[in-house]
Structure 1
């Protein structure tokens, strides 16, 4: 009965807006209501007056309010609505004197015929509306949220403008100081690009602590009045739009120091299909409680078609995301000094399907990466490592807030020697390295800075195995002094061929396994 009354009410409102024109239903009639998407398509770079002819007879649109005037973080006299059509969400700004009377979730019917469509500071909006132009159909409707990376928003801003968008695991750059607040404009890096996080001084959360990273939800606005900066902005509506917050490093907090863990083995090409079977072996050089001192592990793949930055080096380095880098956050569990532990695919098998289970070994983080994105960045994929001749790598970082400038704690590269997709010598970007047994950010002979892989003397790369799909464990055997934090013997590289029944002891013992001494 309730739905019946709602239907009658909507029908009455539509007829009120459409006037008393008699329709010939036998001949078919044009709807008096159209979509936000159709109105947006009218704008061709100059202001215009909306008329029925341009909308094939329609004079009204519907949409759900997504802005929240009560929160204080919305431009004045602004109501933002969005609607969904065939799975596509599109939004629009309404300029209204009494904007505060419209609440999030209100479903509105707006008569747009005779109003103006123009861009104000870059955002497309309708002006010339009055309270009589708008009828509220219902309240507390569901608000759909689009999930997107800042890179994709930058590629197609018109598809996201004036809609509610969620950016997962964004990193504030530069890293905020402990105690900084939200007020103003902050650059948030997400994968290979950035977006401006905007907070008005009037926002009810403006003075709360700014996280170093979080999942940010907000309305996308365009502001092209600020020169030399991306015009795309994300305006959170309320404090609860910012979730999964990671606090900035406390300058008085604990740190892990140099080489708390070292990379000791890689399975990049398990027997059979690789999906969710690839993994990395590490060895701890000190006791670590990951709930107190988190780490992150990032893998990279660099085929010529891998995107973003297909065919060239990734400008975001290890933090590029997409199909280039994939991230695992190590935030729970413990390891003891000298203990091996594993990070990688969720199947936790030593050598692909039906092989020895590693589930009883020490796993700190595993992800079903075939169907799940990485922790913060990295798209779901069939393999986190290349095994067809392209170069791949793995790096481990302190903390989970990683950006282009982050320097790893340890790093290893293997595969092909093509440099095009790894280091851009003209613009000076690529994958950063750390001083370890094979790399040095400063040329020892000339004292020249060389912070990237394949720059200067940083040419070491472990060759790919000649034959694919053998089920090989790459043993990185060396000797590390845990007291002096130095490599007394540099890591070598031995490909050990496994079977389906190989025991875990074969990859955790022997002369080709990294030793941690003292």
Structure 2
């Protein structure tokens, strides 16, 4: 028995040794890639020039990617071929990086959408005037593989570009809703350095004096597609944005169009009865005498299953219990002043709560008995309602219009929506509730340049949400104030911080300061 145990032990030991001595052929044989990604390539530079070798590029000799430079506009530094690519492994957009390669005059031979392979072994990775470049490479090192490839383009938020200039350098970006800070004189031209603002920050838009479009007039507002190339100032990278041709500036507006009124808050479900208790808070961005300059606020209450004839084709002018119109035709407000529209009882949180009648009310209405006028003479579509704004879980909206004539084609100057339930948009027939250019909505898609004039069309899907944990089961009302915190710059005429909603629980003893200070929309 002892002999058997010894033999078993020896046999087990032999098997273990045999298993540990695997043959070379038992391992996977692989060949390192000839190509290095820009993501990994840029990591090689740590402040000093780097000669690119197989050793430091992990056996790679080349890079491949899509050309984003275009020298036809004569606005990029001469000789630079700018190529972007994604890392072979990784998580897509986060690995998108670009690199500038100085190949001399041959750079002008390549256009956006060309796919190229570039042999970079032996080149030198260095910063030239702040931009990371590969030098010591000639046009003979470049091979065009194909052309007409769709370019990867990401939205460029200026605050992120400024905080991470190396990450965004030499990549193709689209800066949305760009205007100038300060605003340009009518005689201004592109040439030189201009401060471009997108609502998140400022960046230098740089145009060479020799650019084809140097003497063209910049639009008031546009989407700008281009390339970030860094400049070194006081030892720090300072990003500069270059558009390549005039076609890179997609005009949104040639003249300023600043909303005189912005929506800053509302209560859709006060404590107790909603009848004549719901109201909307607005803020003026300039002095307004409503007798001279009239405006309209229309609410959309999408509660209930009844769909009137033509719904939603008539949009904000639907009437029939779906929309309610409040014309602002008297009174005055000063720039920056809060004012109120809606509830005839003028109480902060429904029956029995604090009166806010002493605040600035421009229009109040007993909306449960008064039918709204549409276009000041047509009342056929108007009907009274017990709720200006829904609280059933379906969508509701508020829109501000210039003038008092509102039909299905009228475009609001400001608009907000809560939730998206209900049939608010008919994509087949392209009808619904129109939006304007606001902090969250855009009448043109910034990536495709296609029209998207309605809520829920294209990228216009943003909406605020109902207070998720509020509401009394007995139906007595939630009593939550929707504060739409944001920052509107009256000098720039635009939102510099988009609105976001905060639900503030009100009581019967709440006072006006609770809805005009805490998380209220700011004006600069």
- How high is the TM-score relative to the length of structure 2? 0.53
Give 5+ residue unaligned stretches, structure 1: 1-24, 291-296, 301-334, 338-347, 405-413, 417-462, 477-490, 495-518
Match for residue 115 of structure 1?
A: 123
Pairing 1:87–2:86 present: no
Aligned to 1:231: 238
Aligned to 1:3: none
- Is the CA contact (8 Å cut-off) linking 2:486 and 2:495 kept in structure 1? no
SS in 2 for 1:119: strand
Whole-Å Cα distance in 1 between the matches of residues 34 and 169 of structure 2? 25
Closer, same or farther: CA 229–249 of 1 in aligned 2, 3 Å = farther
Q: Distance in 2 between matches of 1:396 and 1:151?
A: 17
Residue 150 of structure 1: CA displacement? 0.4
Tell me the distance in 2 between the aligned counterparts of 1:99 and 1:155. 30
Match in the other structure for 1:431: none
TM-superposed CA distance for 1:114, in Å, is 0.9
Q: Distance in 2 between matches of 1:51 and 1:67?
A: 26
Preserved CA contact (<8 Å) 1:78 1:93? yes
Residue 29 of structure 1: how far off its partner (Å): 1.2
Q: Secondary structure at the match of 1:55?
A: coil
Q: How far does residue 358 in structure 1 lie from its aligned partner after superposition?
A: 7.0
**For residues 68-95 of structure 1, what are the alpha-carbon distances to aligned partners after superposition, in whole Å with 9 as ceiling and x for unaligned?**
1111110011111111234232100010
Indicate the residue corresponding to 2:392 in structure 1. Answer: 353
Answering whether residue 201 of structure 2 is matched by residue 210 of structure 1, we say no
Equivalent residues of 2:266, 2:482 under 8 A apart: no
Structure 2 distance, partners of 1:368, 1:215, is 25
CA-CA distance at 1:236 after TM superposition: 0.5
Of the candidates 44, 52, 56, which is equivalent to residue 50 of structure 1?
52
Q: 1:222, 1:231 within 8 Å by CA — same for their partners in 2?
A: yes
> Equivalents in 2 of 1:41, 1:49: separation in Å?
13
Q: Which residue, out of 31, 48, 65, partners 2:67? A: 65
Indicate the SS of the match to 2:204.
Answer: strand
Report the Cα distance in structure 2 between the residues aligned to 1:106 and 1:66, rounded to whole angstroms: 8
Can you list the C-alpha shifts for 1:249-293, whole angstroms capped at 9, x where unaligned? 59xxxx99xxx7698x94156579xxxx99656894434599xxx
Match of 2:415 in 1: 366
Task: Rate the CA distance shift 1:280–1:160 in 2: closer, same or farther, 3 A.
Answer: same
State the distance in 1 between where 2:279 and 2:156 align.
27
Larger radius of gyration: 2
Quick one: structure 1 residues 228 and 188, their matched pair in 2 at CA, closer, same or farther if it must change by over 3 Å?
farther
- In structure 2, stretches of 5+ residues that fail to align are 1-26, 272-277, 297-334, 339-373, 377-386, 401-405, 421-434, 442-461, 468-478, 517-524
What is aligned with 1:466?
Answer: 507
TM-score normalised by the chain length of structure 1: 0.53
1:219 aligns with 2:227: yes
User: Does structure 2 conserve the Cα–Cα contact (< 8 Å) formed by 1:164 and 1:219?
Assistant: yes
Secondary structure at the aligned position of 1:53 is classed as coil
SS state of the match for residue 168, structure 1? strand
SS at 2:161 equivalent? helix
Residues 395 and 419 of structure 2 are in contact (CA less than 8 Å); yes or no, is this contact kept in structure 1? no
Distance 1:415 1:160, change over 3 A: closer
- Alpha-carbon deviation of 1:299? 13
1:411 corresponds in structure 2 to none
Deviations 1:37-79 (A, max 9, x none): 1111111111010111112111111011111111111001111
Q: Which residue of 2 aligns with 1:401?
A: 493
1:6-45 aligned at under 5 Å gives the runs 27-45=29-47
The verdict on how the C-alpha distance between 1:354 and 1:228 changes in structure 2, with shifts beyond 3 A counting, is: same
Partners of 1:39 and 1:114 in 2: CA distance: 14
CA deviation after TM superposition for structure 1 residue 192, in Å: 3.5
Alignment partner of 1:176 is 2:184: yes
The verdict on how the C-alpha distance between 1:262 and 1:208 changes in structure 2, with shifts beyond 3 A counting, is: closer
Deviations 1:371-402 (A, max 9, x none): 9x9946469574699x9899766888879833
| Counterpart Cα distance in 2 of 1:231 and 1:286 | 48
Checking the alignment, whether the CA contact within 8 Å between 2:265 and 2:483 is kept in structure 1 is no
Structure 1 segment 309-348 matched on structure 2, within 5 A: none
Equivalent residue, structure 1, for 2:266: 267
- Tell me if the contact between 2:439 and 2:495 (Cα under 8 Å) persists in the aligned partners: no
Find out whether 1:190 has 2:190 as its counterpart.
no
Structure 1 partner of 2:248: 241
Alpha-carbon distance between aligned partners in 2 of 1:166 and 1:299, rounded to the nearest angstrom: 35
- The answer to whether the aligner puts 1:148 opposite 2:150 as a matched pair is no
Asked whether the equivalents of residues 223 and 231 of structure 1 are also in contact (C-alpha less than 8 Å), the reply is yes
Question: Structure 2 vs 1, CA of residues 101 and 392 (structure 1 numbering), >3 Å: closer, same or farther?
Answer: closer
Task: Give 1:128's aligned residue.
Answer: 136
Once the 2 structures are TM-superposed, how far is the Cα of residue 123 of structure 1 from its aligned partner?
A: 0.9
Q: How many angstroms apart in 2 are the aligned matches of 1:113 and 1:178?
A: 50
Matched, 1:286 2:292: yes
